[in-house]
Amino acid sequence: MSYPEDEDDSALFLSAIGEVKRLPPVEAPATGKPRPKPRARMAEQDEALALGEFARLLRSAAPLEAGDVASYRRENLPARMFQRLKRGQYSVQDELDLHGATTSQAEALLREFLLEAHAHEFGCVRIIHGKGLQSDGGAPALKNLVDRMLRLRNDVLAFHSAPATQGGTGAVLVLLANR
């Protein structure tokens, strides 16, 4: 079928579909109360599961002492990358200092810090937790908190106590996963 070239496309379309009957506009029902804000229910469930897992880890694992090295590596991370992290050969792109924070404050600060680091696509960050020498006779609380929390996060590929020039056993270098 051929059409004359002087007819425009919209006229051809209208002639092909025929007469159009317009539908009346649909009005939204008035309920009187505003719709609730959406909630991230799955994220809340994941957070609750992680907190339960965190509490289990704190009870089951032997706590780190002041001079102990904190170290963790996912199986899929090449050993060479982990060695570079242990030597402090990655450029630290951001730092969080937890000195003086309570464990609940430190937990919230660490979660927020890691979210921001991930959003900025940082590859390596340093977390200063202190050696815990001021702890009341017990194990260093912040050091153990950081160790346990980092092990539970999917975006953490590895961490290791920093070299002596970067904080030693009072800080950890963390290698983060890309998006």
Cα 159–165–167 angle (5° rounding)?
50
- Give percent of the chain above pLDDT 90: 40
Alpha-carbon distance 72 to 15, whole Å?
Answer: 71
CA 57 to chain CA mean position, Å: 19
Which pLDDT belongs to residue 53? 59
Q: Break the chain into its structural domains and give their ranges.
A: 68-176
The side-by-side arrangement of strands in the sheet containing 156-161 is 71-73, 156-161, 171-176, 124-128, 94-97
68-176 fold: Ribosomal Protein S8; Chain: A, domain 1 (3.30.1370)
Has residue 128 got a pLDDT over 70? yes
Cα 83–60–143 angle (5° rounding)?
50
Alpha-carbon distance 136 to 145, whole Å?
Answer: 16
pLDDT digits (tens, 9 = 90+) for 156-175: 999 999 999 998 989 999 99
69 versus 174: the higher-pLDDT residue is 174
pLDDT digits (tens, 9 = 90+) for 135-160: 656 678 888 889 989 998 899 999 99
Average pLDDT, the chain: 83
Extract long-range pairs of 76-84: CB within 8 Å, 24+ residues apart.
Answer: 77/157, 77/158, 77/175, 81/157, 81/158, 81/175, 82/158, 82/160, 82/175
Amino acid making up residue 94: D
Which pLDDT belongs to residue 161? 94
